[in-house]
Structure formats: C-alpha cells, structure tokens
Structure 1
Amino acid sequence: MAQSIILPVSYIQIAIRELSNKGITPEQIFEGTKLSCHSIQKDGYVTLDQFIKVILNTRKLSNNPAIGLLLGSFLHPSTHGPVGWAAINSPTLSDAINIFQRYSQIRTPFILYTTLTHGEDYIIRLTLTDSLKAAHLIFIEAMLMLLQHIIEFILGRPMTEANLYMNSFKPSYADSYGQYFHCPVHFNSGHLEIRLPIAMKNTANPNADKHMYQIALEQCQEAHHQLRRDINISTEIYDYISANLSCSPTLEYTAIHFGLTPRTLIRRLKDQQTSFQKIKDEVYAFQASGYLRRSVIAIDTLSVIFGYTDPANFRRSFKRWFGMSPQQYREQQTEILKRH
C-alpha cells in the first residue's frame, strides 16, 4: 500500500513571509496546489507534491534562481521541530548529526543522512530517497544551509575548514554559493556531502542544554513512533476492528482509540488510498464469510456477533459485500466443498 509523504507547513510559511516583502500574495504562491492560508493553518501538513509546487511557484514569482539558498538561510534549527532542538542541544557535533541520521524521516522523509569517516575526513552524506522533480536542487540547497547552521552553532564560528561536494552540475548562479556557504563548494562530485576534519567530529557543544536535549529527544522518539504507526495505520485499524466486531467501532470512536481526530484519521487513510469504511467492510466481509463457511451458526445470531441490532441490516450489508444473501453464500460454499 503506497504511503504519501506529508511535510510540515513551517517551511512554506517561511516562503510566504519572504515573498510577502516583495508584494507577492499567498494566493499566488498556492496556485495549482488547492492550498490556502486557512487549510495550512488547520491541517499543519501538505503533501510532497503540493510542497514541490509551492517551491517552484516561489522560484518563479521571486525571479530568483538561488531561492533555495535564500530560504535555507532563514531555516533556524527550530524550524525543524524537535529534530532541530535535539540537534542544537546535543552534547557534541557528531551527536547532533546522529539526530538527523536517526530522525530525519520525521520532517524530511525524502532525505537519508549517512555519516562515515575516510582518512582524515568526517563525512556527512545526503541521499535523496524520493523524486523531488524540478525542485531537487532547491530542496538540497535549503537542507545544506540548515546543516551549516547546526554545525556552526556548535562550533561557534564559520565552518571554513569544511568542503561541500555537490553531485550536480554547476548552476548558472553558482557565484551565489559563496554568499551563503562559508567553505569551498565542489560540483559534479560522486556524492552529495559535507566533509569536515575528523578532529571536529567530537567537538563539544558549549550551548548544550541537557534538560532540553532530553525533552527534544523524547519528542523525536515519540514522533518517530507515531510515524511508524501512521505508515501502518490501516493495518492497525484492521486488527482493531477485527478484535471488536460486536462493538461495531465507529470512525469517531476508532480515532479516539488511536489518539487522533476523525479528520486526521480520514486524511491519513486517504494518504494510503483507503478509507475507514473500506477497511471496516473488508474486516466484516472476511469474518462473515469465514463464519458461513466453517460453522452452522444461525444468520440472525451472526448479525448479533457483528454488532447489528437488526438482522435485516446485516443481510443488506452482506449483499453489498458479496452480491448475494448470507444464505445464498452459505449454500454456494457448501456446494463447492462437496465438489472437492
């Protein structure tokens, strides 16, 4: 079952603030996305496709090919939520980068962070796991700027000893890189990575707050757990309904059980190309067919097991699932068994 990537609106809000200074309205930025100021405030998330469209609109409206660098310069670590807070309160530089390595999927699931050492270099490598289409370089530039903010926050100075390697062709605005990055930038490289002297790997963070680090780390762990559950939410709901057939769980009650609002549950299931009613029908159809094939239990009794107060409603539901009545289904299955 496909899982649609969703991203927090905080990144889009930065673009809105920047372009509003140039007289560009949110409506122009949202063109072709079905988004509005109201919808992003209410939902708090957008799909990857919507995000890409907003970023491409931003580049076009600003007439600034280096918009990724500009937006990245506004990315304070706090924009990255608990991941950013945990990073800037980490005990050492390597601890901060490990936070991104472990929990980046919470905020930017399309980027995989890897750390390795090679000779005298400590390497932070970025790998894109999903297609960002024409917005590829914009995203990369913004995320590299964020990493620079994190590294320099811990170092307490510009990362002049670093080297930045881009696995892309040199863009027409390459001179702009020197205005934003504080180290040499190399294009057409085999990997996308930041290389630091290995001696900097365990640089102590003078601004680390142990209490804040622990709180942010716990939030990262909870958000990661929630993300894992979201990915498998349809399976968990299937199991939950199966275990509570006689209660006939409603959408609202199920949402409460999973600590969600009905609206959020609907959206997350839609992201997985399904719905609560579709899952519920699958559960009941599977369970009902099993009872009818393997037992002689009365159909009226079966309706009670499935939480129907009126057996007629159960019969109508069954006919919707299988195109025949429960009795016809039982007779059909009996004939099939006889033939085998």
Structure 2
Amino acid sequence: MSKALLSFDDKALLLSATALDMILLCQRRGFALDTLLKGSKLFEQDLRKATTKISPQQYLQLVGNCQKALPGPELAYLTAQSWLHHNHSPLLLMLRYSANLQQALLSFYRYRSQLLPLLYLRLQRLQGQLRLVVRPSFALDKQQSFVEQVLFHYLLGLIKQQLGTTAGLSLTTTVVDQHCNWLMQHHWQLQPGHALQSSLILPSALLKPPFAEANPQLWQQQHNWCLYLQQSVPDKTSFTEQLEQWLFANLRHAPSQEAAAQHWGLSLSSFKRLLAQHHTSYQQLQDQVKACAAQHALLQQGMSNKELASRLGYSDEHNFRRAFKRWTGLLPSQLRS
C-alpha cells in the first residue's frame, strides 16, 4: 500500500483551509458561532490557529451546520467566491500566482488535501480536451453535491478571474438540481449535463495562456508555505479512494474481492468489514469504476461494444451489455444516442 489509510475520524485536515471561509461567511450573515460549530467539538479559539486539524467527520458536520444556516446552492458559490479573494491560504494564493492553468491544476492536484480533501481528481486527456473527473474519497451522501459544487465554482471562478472567459468549457454532474444549474448558467454561462460522474471538461488550448496575476516569485513563496503545511498533515488517503484507484488500474483483469483483500494484506472478513465502515461494498465500488470507465470509452473514445467488453475483462459481449445496463440503467446504444 503506497499510503496510510485516512479514516473518517482521523484529524488530518487543516481547518483554516478547508472550512474557515465557509464558517466566517455564515457568521457575517448573522449566525451565531456556537450554532455553526455545534456537534463538531470545536471552539472559537480553534478557528484562530492556522494548524488546527479536523477529521472528515468534523468537516461534514461543519458543512451540515452551515447548510442549515444558509440553505440552497448559494453557499457553495459564495464559499468559492471567498476562496477566489482569499489572502491567507498559501494554496489559494499559489493557484492565483501560477504561470498558467496547467501549473495551477498540477498544484491543486498535488495539494488538494489542504483544500478539498474529501474529493479526488482523475485527469483524462482526449481529443484536444482535458477532463477533470471528480470522485468522492468517502461516502459523502447528501453532502457530496455541495462539496462538488464548491470545487466547480472555484475552478470556474479561477479560470474567469485569470483568463477572462469560461468559453469552451463544459460540465457534467451526477445529480440534476434546477437551482444549482441556474447558478451555473447565471454566473458561468454553462448548462451542466447529466452523467454517471461529475466532471469539468476544458479545451487543452486554455492550459498555456498566462494568468493575469502570474508571479513566479510570489508563487514560489506560497509553494514553500504549502510544503511546510503539508508536513504538518499526515500523508493519508481514504481506503475507498485507494481501492478505486487500484480498480481503475486493473480494469482489464477484473480482480476478485479475494484478490483485492490479498493485495491489501487483509482477511476477506476484515476487508468486507472495512468497506462496510465506509458505507459501501466491493461490488458497488467495482460497478462504479466500470461504469465510469465504460462511459468515458463509449462517449469520448468511440469504442465498440466488443472492444469495451475486452477492456473491462468480459469475454462475452452479451454479458457485458447486460452488466452495463445493471450499472447505468441503459444499454450502450442508448447511452451513445
């Protein structure tokens, strides 16, 4: 295993980077701090320390409290706007001072645990485009849409702030929400599409044009601070994220649950118990991975059913079509159309 496991109650996230702006935003709207911190086991003095660490569980509790204070999709947009004008987060400053979008995305990819630790990105290059596929690191339930929306609003805002346009970008989400879609149309002139995985697709031509605030010296200063902060945060990744990455890497072999347990050095019962603690199962994760890979191959690469069946470890095309309908509710031909 390349990294230690991040559990739901591990204090490995920086409060100042992940949740502070959201809390202060609600506080400025007149909501009592006690209400916003309720159930999180945090106190006012914790907000003043740059190195205060919280667990994924505490983070989601804070998100839930803030959503009760400011219900609706505006909280995600306003939080992202705070990040765009944030002057005390080394990571956010480093992204603004990047030479271009390519450097900013690579920096975000490397240090995202300091900002949005409950999501991870899969980068896919294809036909003049870069696709940022967003996957949850934990079972986030109703909070997943909020966390994804914060990420999308921030990245779109950064691109608009530094390059002056969001033209040519497109967005897909797993949940259809009219209010969220209206915000995307109103602020970024984007109409999100519905898909099996949430993603931001941008033209490769946007990667190299210089940022408006590009500054190599200031970028290096903030990068040094990010390195320093990273040393105070345990280098851990959730079990489901590590397992998903392993399943993506071994798509063609379709490893069994027993093989996966052996890879992690666990007994089958311990392996199943660990998955249950993350509110998922091996079959569920494997289906999600295959469905995401199948959608990408069908829509982006134009693979035939036979080619895709082979890639996903199916010797029989009919069995693949049946499995595909179980994953997505559609036949491959229906998804293409």
Shorter chain as denominator, the TM-score bin is 0.5 to 0.7
**Could you say which residue in structure 1 is the equivalent of 2:39?**
32
User: Does 2:201 align with 1:199?
Assistant: no
Match of 1:70 among 64, 78, 87: 78
* 1:114 Cα deviation after fit: 3.3
User: Does 2:150 align with 1:139?
Assistant: no
State how far apart, in whole Å, the 2-side matches of 1:77 and 1:23 are: 21
**Could you say which residue in structure 1 is the equivalent of 2:182?**
176
**Could you say which residue in structure 2 is the equivalent of 1:101?**
109
Higher relative contact order, structure no. (Cα contacts within 8 Å, ≥ 6 residues apart): 2
State how far apart, in whole Å, the 2-side matches of 1:103 and 1:16 are: 22
TM-score, with normalisation over the residues of structure 1?
Answer: 0.59
Note closer, same or farther for the CA distance 1:150–1:65 as it changes in structure 2 (3 Å cut): closer
State how far apart, in whole Å, the 2-side matches of 1:151 and 1:11 are: 20
State how far apart, in whole Å, the 1-side matches of 2:191 and 2:87 are: 25
Name whichever of 62-71 and 207-216 sits farther off.
62-71
Match of 1:123 among 126, 131, 136: 131
* 1:98 Cα deviation after fit: 0.8
Matches within 5 A, 1:143-154: 143-154=151-162
Match of 2:62 among 36, 54, 66: 54
TM-score, with normalisation over the residues of structure 2?
Answer: 0.60
* 1:141 Cα deviation after fit: 0.8
**Could you say which residue in structure 2 is the equivalent of 1:161?**
168
**Could you say which residue in structure 2 is the equivalent of 1:273?**
none
* 1:91 Cα deviation after fit: 1.5
Aligned partner letter, 1:50: Q
Name whichever of 43-52 and 77-86 sits farther off.
77-86
State how far apart, in whole Å, the 2-side matches of 1:176 and 1:79 are: 29
State how far apart, in whole Å, the 1-side matches of 2:48 and 2:219 are: 28
Q: Which runs of 5+ in 1 are unaligned?
A: 233-340
Deviation sequence 1:54-108 (CA, Å, 0-9, x none): 2112112223354222322322264682222222222221111111112212333
Aligned partner letter, 1:122: L
Note closer, same or farther for the CA distance 1:205–1:137 as it changes in structure 2 (3 Å cut): same
* 1:139 Cα deviation after fit: 1.1
User: Does 2:93 align with 1:85?
Assistant: yes
Q: Which runs of 5+ in 2 are unaligned?
A: 238-337
Percent of pairs with identical residues: 15
* 1:151 Cα deviation after fit: 1.7
Note closer, same or farther for the CA distance 1:9–1:85 as it changes in structure 2 (3 Å cut): closer
User: Does 2:45 align with 1:41?
Assistant: no
State how far apart, in whole Å, the 1-side matches of 2:224 and 2:46 are: 29
SS class of match (1:103):
helix
SS class of match (2:30):
coil
Q: How many residues align?
A: 229
State how far apart, in whole Å, the 2-side matches of 1:225 and 1:17 are: 26
SS class of match (1:63):
coil
State how far apart, in whole Å, the 2-side matches of 1:224 and 1:102 are: 10
Deviation sequence 1:175-233 (CA, Å, 0-9, x none): 432366413232421332211122112112242111111222233334334435x659x
Note closer, same or farther for the CA distance 1:9–1:224 as it changes in structure 2 (3 Å cut): closer
**Could you say which residue in structure 2 is the equivalent of 1:220?**
226
Aligned partner letter, 2:36: I
Q: Is the 8 A contact 1:73 1:142 kept in 2?
A: no
Q: Is the 8 A contact 1:104 1:113 kept in 2?
A: no
The structure that has the greater radius of gyration is 1
